[in-house]
Amino acid sequence: MASLSFPVASMTEGCESRWVEPGPARAPRISYRLNDAAALLAEPGTLAVFGFGHAASDPDDPRWLRVPLEALDAPAPLEAWQVDDAVQHGRDGALRWSAGGGWLFAAVELDEREHGGPAGAAREAYAQLRDFIRGRAEHRVLRIWNYQAAINAGHGDAERYKLFCDGRAEGCGDWFADGYPAATAIGHHGDPHLLQIYLLAGPHAGTAVENPRQVSAWRYPRQYGRTSPGFARAMTLPAGDALAISGTAAVVGHASAHEGDLAAQLQEILVNLEALLASAGMPAGFDTHAPLKAYVRHPADAPRVRELLQQRLPGVPVLLLQGDVCRSELLVELDGWRYA
Ligand code: 3EB
């Protein structure tokens, strides 16, 4: 669906033209590209460009984000988000943002030591994002990515991921009282104090999608932590033309499945993804326009993950990244996009 961003003459008395509230914008185009960052940033409509791990360049542009997850593919592509209009961008303390064509990218990077640890950093990051977005036309958050160091360190309620969940909920307050965005939370092996969070927002609400095979994350029982993780399993973008798929692991009901069995976990994830597509009313299967990411805990598992995904999802662009699923028994997680 094309976005309407031109003045439409109204047919009311006087026949003066007026601005008509545009409908939901076409989904951003998300792609993996082997260009260099500067070339991608120079393309019209580039909202954000992501490099993974030790990316070669580091341009000084608020739309550029170095994600602290090592790519397990060589050469590693960059990820580009592109929209149908001119893009503005800026910085606001630890936050950087860009906006155009009815979409907003925002990212926050904090040093946990400056905020009293993992819970304090999550609280502060979400509070900063919330305060920034409150003043924007694009105030509906549709999709969030959270990358935390040493996510599985610590035990029980003191596991770092669980502290992140506590702080996230505090920083959000009632921000998502109307419904959670889709999300990913993955452990990185970069700067051990870095919490990185980025998001996609727009002026219109999307439609949250749950997976009938899985208990909704916000209803997880107490055994998974004091604070249930606040995210939807997927989000249909407002124009209905794309599905943003949250981090999807081998979770059935609320339990982790196939502990220690990489291939079985991957198979369960693919069943979960098909269930999500059906639940969202999207066509079954993935295609060459559906960029996915596979977060792999053990780099030694990458060839097997690549091989299994090439068999099961031939032609689908999948970026393999080293990342730790937030439950230590889970070896792999997928997220990504499905276009209608
Ligand atoms: C799960 O299904 C896996 O805390 O934001 C997936 C996606 C997971 C997002 C989050 C956690 C989050 O529970 C973990």
**How many C-beta neighbours within 10 Å does residue 36 have?**
16
Catalytic residue among 124, 138, 159, 333: 333
Residue bearing the CA closest to ligand 1, atom 9: 184
Q: Which domains does the chain have, with CATH numbers?
A: 28-247 (3.30.1330.40)
229 Cα nearest atom in ligand 1: 4
pLDDT category at 5 given cuts 50, 70, 90 is very low
**333 flagged as catalytic:** yes
Between 14-28, 38-52, 88-102, 166-180, the lowest mean confidence (pLDDT) is in 14-28
Ligand 1 near 308 CB (within 6 A): no
Rounded to the nearest angstrom, the distance between the alpha carbon of 333 and the centre of ligand 1 is: 9
Rounded to the nearest angstrom, the distance between the alpha carbon of 216 and the centre of ligand 1 is: 10
Average pLDDT, the chain: 93
Rounded to the nearest angstrom, the distance between the alpha carbon of 237 and the centre of ligand 1 is: 20
What does the pLDDT read at residue 57? 81
Give the H or E element holding residue 86.
none
The one-letter amino acid code at 252 reads V
DSSP per-residue string spanning 153-212: -S-GGGSHHHHHHHHHHHHHTTTTTT-PPEEEEEEE-SSTTEEEEEEEEESS--EEE--T
pLDDT digits (tens, 9 = 90+) for 37-82: 999 999 999 999 999 998 768 899 999 999 999 999 989 999 999 9
Ligand 1 near 249 CB (within 6 A): yes
164 Cα nearest atom in ligand 1: 4
Q: Is 260 exposed, middle or buried (0-12, 13-18, 19+ CB in 10 A)?
A: exposed
pLDDT digits (tens, 9 = 90+) for 278-318: 999 999 999 999 999 999 999 999 999 999 999 999 999 99
Tell me the average pLDDT across 260-276: 98
